Structure 1
């Protein structure tokens, strides 16, 4: 089972160091979240920079809130990132749920799921090199990955799990322990079979982590509380933060036990020593 890192968002200037250290370690993926009305770096721009500073590790949106993006531009950006990274890009994608993000981007909060379905049809069409629309030519460049970059859908609703089978390559589940993630993984597999997709979906789990001194853990908790304040469940999210080597190892083992192909350890402290510490915990 692969293990990746989710990148912190409170100090963008440190992310090049994070990426280079991760590239020199056994971690397989660097993930970065997406928000609009928040003090986070834009994920596609940031991951393009990080892909150029690395040679091995994959880069992944976790997850990109696609309904807030112009579809044609998104097709071009993602194909370009996949091309320039040599096929090391994974598009984690979802609908989002923040009213303020919808307001500033002109997105209809009530139909963002339908918009994502429409976008996926256009993205798949465009990545295959077909004309974007009647009377309009193709949008290049072609991605390095035939048919487009790997697509993982995030979410909990049945519609999100169905999208995995209809449009995706796999599922990215976050903020649930292995015992609860197991049901979502199995539901994804059932949807995959229902749609008669060949092979199996890739199953990826995310866990929030911060391992180190108490001051660093306090900073991580504060970042979590601030980021998830809009959900009304911020305390629950902070309480789920894994802060010991034993908790991280047990959770990784739990996800392996339910068939995860990869676990992303999402870091909520910008202390770059997290890379080495977590590597010691899971690979040492």
Structure 2
């Protein structure tokens, strides 16, 4: 049973402590979200630091907004992170949805899906050691994982689910309860079969949690409202925060029942004692 932790973003200096405590416990993965025009730490830089502070636990972007990144540099950064972590890196990737992120990066928000498709072809080429393109040789280093790090696509649109089968290793589903997520899981599996991919896609679910005293819960609700303010559904997201051991355990079990290979418990408060509370709740 693989259960990971999504890291809080409001106190980057605390994340080394989070990583070491999680690495000493039963959790499988540390996830970190990506935004450009926001106060979160840059995920690839941060995960490199966390990989160096740990020895066992995997590190994962959840999800990296690839279209706002330079493709050649992204290929080099992700290969480097996979290499220095000893193959413990998972690239969770998606198109994003914030116009200000795209404006800051000089990217057309209406073409970000097509840009991601082109980026994935280039990333796979670089990770395999082939030249980047005409007149441009290979970009190293070679990743520790043959063919490149594991790639999980996040999103809800049919194009995102198709990308899992075309370019990826699996799917990362967030912001939906199990009874709705099961439809996305089955659609991903159907796309996988349509593209005649061998084996099966890895399915990862994410749920938002906060566990602890009233101050911890209030802090988490404030942070999740602030992060999702642009969606117009910030109140709904805060109301969906799971705040009791029973609800967290029941929902985690429900995700495994619909075929999840791993469940990520995304924490919105920097109270690091949640690591032990969550471990007691779900293991």
Output one character per residue of 1:22-47: Cα deviation in whole Å (capped at 9) or x when no partner. Answer: 00001000000000010000000000
Q: What 5-or-longer segments of structure 1 have no aligned partner?
A: none
Task: Give TM-score, length-normalised by structure 1.
Answer: 0.99
Output one character per residue of 1:200-251: Cα deviation in whole Å (capped at 9) or x when no partner. Answer: 0000000000011011101100000000000111111111100000000000
Moved more, 128-137 or 199-208: 128-137
Paired residue secondary structure (2:34): coil
* Partner residue, 1:42: 42
Cα distance in 2 for partners of 1:146, 1:230 equals 39
* Partner residue, 1:170: 170
Paired residue secondary structure (2:263): strand
Output one character per residue of 1:116-175: Cα deviation in whole Å (capped at 9) or x when no partner. Answer: 000000000100000000121100000000000000000000000000000000000001
* Partner residue, 1:250: 250
Cα distance in 2 for partners of 1:39, 1:94 equals 19
* Partner residue, 2:148: 148
* Partner residue, 2:260: 260
Paired residue secondary structure (2:266): strand
| Shift, 1:257, TM fit | 0.5
Cα distance in 1 for partners of 2:182, 2:219 equals 30
Cα distance in 1 for partners of 2:160, 2:136 equals 30
Q: What 5-or-longer segments of structure 2 have no aligned partner?
A: none
* Partner residue, 1:183: 183
Once the two structures are superposed, the pairs formed by residues 19-168 of structure 1 within 5 Å of their partners are 19-168=19-168
* Partner residue, 2:239: 239
Cα distance in 1 for partners of 2:236, 2:83 equals 39
The Cα RMSD (Å) is: 0.4
> Which 4+ stretches in 1 moved above 6 angstroms?
none
Residue 212 (structure 1) aligned with residue 212 (structure 2): yes
| Shift, 1:278, TM fit | 0.4
Cα distance in 1 for partners of 2:203, 2:281 equals 22
Residue 280 (structure 1) aligned with residue 280 (structure 2): yes
Task: Give TM-score, length-normalised by structure 2.
Answer: 1.00
